Every structure is written in C-alpha cells, then in structure tokens.
Structure 1
Amino acid sequence: MPAMRQVALLIETSRGFGRGLLRGVAQYCRENSNWATHFRPHGLGDACLDWISDWRGDGILVRTENERIADAVRRPGVPVVELLGKLKHQQQVPMVRVNDRSIAKIAAQHLLDRGFHNFGCCGYRIGNYPFLDIRVGAFRQYIEEAGYPCSMLHVYDLYVGKSRLSWERQQARIAEWVKQLPKPVGVMAVTDDRAFDILGACRMIGALVPDEVALIGVDNDECIGQLTIPPLTSIDPDPPRIGYRAAALLDSLMDGDPPPSEIIYIEPRGLVKRQSTDVLAVDDVAVSEAIRYIRENACHAIHVSDVLAHVRSSRVTLETGMKRAIGRTIHQEIHRVRIETARQLLAATNLPVKKIAVDSGFRTVQYLTRVFTEAVGIAPARYRRQSRIEP
C-alpha cells in the first residue's frame, strides 16, 4: 500500500465558497486519494499558521489572501495549488478558479433578459482582487456591447485586512451611488458580500428591490442568502467542482507531473434566481405580460398563437415590442426558456433525459438533443457530465 500523502488545506470556513471547495476536496479524497489532510477552521486571511511552520508534508491547497500566508506555503519541493489568486506573484503558482468572464456573461444576460436599459456594477478597489477586476470589466464589456452604458463603483473590502473607510462611510458612498443611478436599473455585485452591502444601502435611501434596483450577486452563499431581504439572486460558481479539480491537480503534481502552463478555469454552475431580480423592466404592458406568460408556460408546449391570444395583440405589434425590449421574437423567447430549463434540469437533477425533454417542452429526446446541441454546442448527456464534479 502506498504511503499516505500529507496534505495541508489552507481554505477558509467562514464563507460558503470556502466550505464548497472543502466539500469538493473531500469528495476527491473519498474517491481517489490516499491523503491525510491537515486543516484548521479559519476565516479568509485569518489562518492560524503556527502549526504549519513545523509541518512536513507533501502538498498544499491554499487560498492566499496575504503575504503572511504566501510566505508560510512557500517551501522547496512541496507542490502548491492556489485557489484565490489575489497576490500577483501567486498567479505563477498552479491555479484552479472559476471562469470570471462566464460569471459576468451570465449576470449581464440575466439582467438584459429582464428588459433593463440602465446598468451598474459594484466591486472592490481596483487591484485588491485581480480576478474580480476581470469579472467587473467583463460585465461592463458585455453591457456596452449590448448598446447600454454601465455605471461602476469600486470600494474597499471592509471584511478583509485594513480598510480606509468605516462601515458607515462605505454604506453612505454606496447609497449615494445607488441614488444617482437612473431607475429602473439592473446591478451586478461582484460577490454576495458586496450585494449584501448594496441591499443595505437601498434600504437607507428607500430604493425598492427589485422594482427600482434589480440586484444579482455571485457565490450563492447560503448564509447571506438567508439574511438578505428580499432573497438574493446569485450565480453559483460551483466551488465543489473547483475544489475537486484542484485536488486532482495537486495529486498529479505530487506524482511528479509537470504543472499546467495556464490557469485551469471551471465554468460556473449557473444562476440561482430569487426575488431580487424578479421583475420585468418593460414599459409596454402587452410586451411585459407576454414575456411573463412565456416564462411561466414555455415548457407546457405553448405556441406563438397562444401568446398572442393571451395578450390579445397582433403578431406584428407584439413582435416589434419584444424585439425592442429584449431583442428576441416570441418564438425565440419560447425557445430560449425551454433551453434554459433543460440546462438547469440536466445540471441539478438526476432525471432521465427523456423526462427532461418532456418537462422542458421538447416532448422527445431526439428533438431536445438536436435543438440543445445547436444552441449550447454540446449534446445534453455531455453537458450533464461536464456539469458534475469530475477531474
């Protein structure tokens, strides 16, 4: 029997993302590995490093928040896999993380689909988290490519390290920014933490969520999700899959394999819709009602004629209004909702593909497979495999 590998886990337990990473690492250990893990619960950036100074092990998985942690894990001959990438020099270390551009695209598309023409994005001070800067920049790019302006706000992170702003001053700054945004507005917060701050600022100035400010966060943190009023729409970056892939990479490095030449990016799991974006920013009553009817009934085998009968409008008038509001025809919106439903069912359930085809409005597996492959680029079965934890 091969010797047990001693692996240190410097991953925080104070946030849902870190706990998700640890779940993925744990699954890898159960399935593949002869690891003995060394771990102490801690917050991001608050790791107690007394034990690791004398630790003699074989590999390290780490979220490097500061130079103190970077110095502690820097040791000759011990492979390290990075899971945060905050420090520039740590970006040369083998790294696994979520695809931030994909997160931005999901957020932008969701708010565009809600019919918004005004947008904002709130992140941290530029340079604090390089990959979150990419997330913010990509969101702005997608919105501007759609033909709309995007207001930006960058403020310090009060929860990590030393901040130059008190909580009251930061909230006042966010509130002033929200107040000057043209309404209704769709806003992406770069994390759920930042979304929590924005919701507080909205309450300070009396801005209604989602009617005036539709807000989407990132991380799908279960604790923040329970604290927010209204419940927060968020993007699930799939931390268990990131943790699983990072563990697999560390195992290969401990085997002596060469490190990857580039960062390994994991696609986010998808959008978790809640009340904070449950609104349509469409002035045309008929168009708004048509979109809502489609999103509630598209999977029930409805046709364009059913939508026209429901809103009592001519096809030319309604098509023109929908193209102006969301950039799609009636048929295209029905099609989009069905594809999105199939994606969610494939990723989040173990339902047979035949049942998913029926539940998403495609009726047959053959029809679902043809349309899904055309829209997504891969077949439903392969999409399901890629959506699950795997090396």
Structure 2
Amino acid sequence: MSNTRKVVLLIESSRAYGRGLLRGIAKYSRLHGPWMFYRESPFYLKSDSLRKMISHIKEWGATGIIVREQEGLDEILALGLPTIVSPLTERFIPGVPSIYTDCFAIAKLGAEYFLKMGFRNFAFCGYYHKPPFAWSEDRAKVFNEIIAQAGFETHIYVPSKPQKLPPWEKEQLILANWLKELPKPIAIMTCADDRSQNVIDACKIANIKVPEEIAILGTDNDEIVCDLSFPPLSSVALNIEKAGYEAAELLDAGMKGQKMEAKLLLVQPFGVVTRQSTEVMAIEDRDVAEAIRYIRKNPKNMTQVNDIATAIGTSRRSLERKFKKMLGRSIYAEIRRLRVEQMACFLLETNYSILRIARIFGFAGAKHVSRYFRKEKGISPQAYRKQYSLK
C-alpha cells in the first residue's frame, strides 16, 4: 500500500470536458495502478474551505495533483507536488504541464463544416468579459481567419462594454437583438455547448428559426447539454479522454521522480456530431440541396451519381455542373466525404475491425476501404483510430 499513488483530482464533473478528463485518468489508473484518489466533496455535502482542503491533502500524503484552474491555484502549486493544470482563463500555467484545447483545429473544423454546407454568412459567439477565457478568444480568432481566407466576413458577438458576466436575463436581450440584425441564413459557431444553448434561447425570444434561419454549432459535444436544447445541438467532438490518459501518464512519470516538462497537452477534435441545430443546407439550388439530403440519408450504401440524379429527377450532367458551381466539388467527392465521416465515427465509437466496417459500408475487403478512407483523410483507418481514440 505504501507504493500506491495518491492523486488529488480537483476537476469538476458536471460537464463533458471534466468527465472526459476523469475517464481518461481512470483508465490509466486501471491499467497502471491502481491509484487512490482524493476529490472535492459532492454538491450535497458541505465543501471544505481552501485552507482545510490543503490541510487534508497534506495529511493524506498526496503524491500528485491534476487540477482545473481555480481560486487558490497558487496555494495548491505551493505544495510542491507533481502537478498538471487544465487552464481556464490562461493558455498555460508557467512552470507546470497544462492541458489545453487545440483551438486552431477546433475552429478550423467548424469553419470548414459550415463552408461545405454552402453558407455565405457567418458569425461567432463566445464569452466576452473580464477576465477573458483564452480558449474562447482563440477559437473566435481562428474561425474569423479561416472564414476570411474563404472570402467571407465573420460577425463576432462582442458586448459594447465587456465586464463581469452580466445576469443572463439582461444579456439574453442583448444577444437576441444582435441575432436579429444578422444577415440570414447564417451559420454561427460558439465557443462551447453552453454558449450554443444561450444562443438557441435568445433565438426563441427573437422569433428566429433554428436551423432554417440560423444554424448553430457548439464545442465539446456535451450530450446532456446538447440534448437538453431544442432543437438538439450539433457540436465539435473532442478527444478529451485521451488527454486525461496522457495527463495521468505524465503525472505518473513525475511521481516516479522523473522531471515533468512544462509542456502543453493538446485536446484534439475528431469530428462534428450533427444534430438538428445544423440540419439544413444553405444552398439555393433545390437539386443540389436534395442531392446532399439523399447522400446523408444513405451513407452506408455504395451510392452512384446516377442513382442520385434519378432519385431527384434531374440529369447527371446538370447535377454535376450545379455541384461544381455551388460547392466547388464533384458529387462523387461529396459522397466520399460524407461516407468517410460516418466511417470515422465507427472507428472511434466502436471496437469493430476494419474488415467489419468495410463490409458495413459495402466494400469487399479492408484494403479497399483503406484506400477510399485515405483519399479523404490522408491517413489510413488504422492510423486515424490510433491518433484519435483513447489508448
């Protein structure tokens, strides 16, 4: 028992981000521990003061800490234990390893998702107050840059006087008025799923239809938050568990006496989970919109271009020409893109073999589906699973 790691976990568990980190840490502990954990008291019990909590940590004989940025962080770091921090207002905490989201990859994925849907109007809604959230600012900046590179403008929600977060009743009216003034139809990316829920609520006050007038995409893929919204929210999914596992692995090295480099552990996105808040195509051409709906409804079928043209009642040549004009890509490229996105979900959400996934999607063997997948993603299905799934 004397060699058992005693790890302090000061991580909230009410949101998907914190729960994901905890799942990754738990998996590492099962494989390489077991560890003992100290956590804050649940909400239905009286919480200790910071002074008492630090006293308990010392008496318990903790050997390492993983903590979200919070009040009293300096006192926690002063304990001198191997510590990893997940920042909130900062991008990293000097002198210690930090867990931070890959905001460039997240915002780029969101921007490209909307561009491929044919939108021409874009907006971003984050949190703007003092102190600012670094991750919200970073995602807004990158989203704006990617949209600008595509030749479009991003409308960014910024209250006239950023201050402490105002009461929701007050901000809801400000946000609703901003939404009314935006050009329609428009695609809005938010910094987080909670913010997406705010936007949906403000849309209801403003009598704005979602997704017909405003399509909304969040981040974190917090299933509870997404499903509590109406319509349910689409969201960028993050590989949070993998980051939790890697944080535990690094902490373990530190608890063994190895030097922990003060580096960033990046939380990577791996795709967009589409729900009703973005189930719309901002495409004026009826044939193109109908064709994309047909492809989305049949992602596992070996759909041919002629099948689509026949189903929507137009000629193949006419449909190909319209696709190139409206989306800048061929019908076949769109079929492959949507099918590969579905394959990627199977790779990350199941333990199915590549051969089994190949057969689900109508391929004769693993080699055939691997070539198909690589053309879209640039890597093999095996490499994609290894890179984005939990260890």
Q: TM-score, normalised by structure 2?
A: 0.90
Q: Structure 2 vs 1, CA of residues 361 and 145 (structure 1 numbering), >3 Å: closer, same or farther? A: farther
Are 1:101 and 2:104 matched, yes or no? yes
The one-letter amino acid paired with 1:208 is: K
Structure 2 match to 1:114: 117
How far apart in 1 are the matches of 2:147 and 2:91? 28
Confirm or deny: 8 A CA contact 2:28 2:249 kept in the other structure: yes
Confirm or deny: 8 A CA contact 2:254 2:260 kept in the other structure: yes
Confirm or deny: 8 A CA contact 1:225 1:232 kept in the other structure: yes
The one-letter amino acid paired with 1:125 is: Y
Confirm or deny: 8 A CA contact 2:355 2:365 kept in the other structure: yes
How far apart in 2 are the matches of 1:112 and 1:367? 29
Structure 2 match to 1:236: 237
Aligned 1:15-164 pairs, distance under 5 A: 15-41=15-41, 48-54=49-55, 55-56=57-58, 57-65=62-70, 68-75=71-78, 77-87=80-90, 90-125=93-128, 128-154=132-158, 163=164
Structure 2 match to 1:13: 13
Structure 2 match to 1:307: 308
Deviation, 1:233, is 0.8
Confirm or deny: 8 A CA contact 1:98 1:242 kept in the other structure: no
Deviation, 1:356, is 1.0
Aligned 1:1-391 pairs, distance under 5 A: 3-41=3-41, 48-54=49-55, 55-56=57-58, 57-65=62-70, 68-75=71-78, 77-87=80-90, 90-125=93-128, 128-154=132-158, 163=164, 165-260=166-261, 262-390=263-391
Aligned CA-pair RMSD: 2.4
The one-letter amino acid paired with 1:289 is: E
Deviation, 1:353, is 1.1
Confirm or deny: 8 A CA contact 1:12 1:41 kept in the other structure: no
The one-letter amino acid paired with 1:111 is: F
How far apart in 2 are the matches of 1:271 and 1:327? 21
Confirm or deny: 8 A CA contact 2:4 2:34 kept in the other structure: yes
Q: Structure 2 vs 1, CA of residues 49 and 174 (structure 1 numbering), >3 Å: closer, same or farther? A: same
Confirm or deny: 8 A CA contact 1:123 1:155 kept in the other structure: no
How far apart in 2 are the matches of 1:95 and 1:366? 39
How far apart in 1 are the matches of 2:224 and 2:293? 30
Deviations 1:346-379 (A, max 9, x none): 1111222112113234443111112222332322
For structure 1, the 5+ residue unaligned runs are: none
Confirm or deny: 8 A CA contact 1:236 1:272 kept in the other structure: yes
Confirm or deny: 8 A CA contact 2:92 2:100 kept in the other structure: no
Confirm or deny: 8 A CA contact 2:123 2:188 kept in the other structure: yes
Q: Structure 2 vs 1, CA of residues 125 and 328 (structure 1 numbering), >3 Å: closer, same or farther? A: same
Deviations 1:7-33 (A, max 9, x none): 111101222321222122112111112
Deviation, 1:295, is 2.0
Deviations 1:183-229 (A, max 9, x none): 11111111011111101100001000011111111122233123201
Deviation, 1:309, is 1.9
The one-letter amino acid paired with 1:4 is: T
Deviation, 1:119, is 0.7
How far apart in 2 are the matches of 1:361 and 1:47? 57
Helix, strand or coil: the match of 1:107? helix
Deviation, 1:85, is 4.6
Confirm or deny: 8 A CA contact 1:12 1:47 kept in the other structure: no
Deviation, 1:332, is 0.8
Deviation, 1:92, is 4.2
Deviation, 1:265, is 1.2
How far apart in 2 are the matches of 1:256 and 1:289? 61
Q: Structure 2 vs 1, CA of residues 306 and 11 (structure 1 numbering), >3 Å: closer, same or farther? A: same
Helix, strand or coil: the match of 1:210? coil
Instruction: Tell me the matched-pair count.
Output: 382
How far apart in 1 are the matches of 2:69 and 2:322? 50
Helix, strand or coil: the match of 2:38? strand
Q: Structure 2 vs 1, CA of residues 121 and 89 (structure 1 numbering), >3 Å: closer, same or farther? A: closer
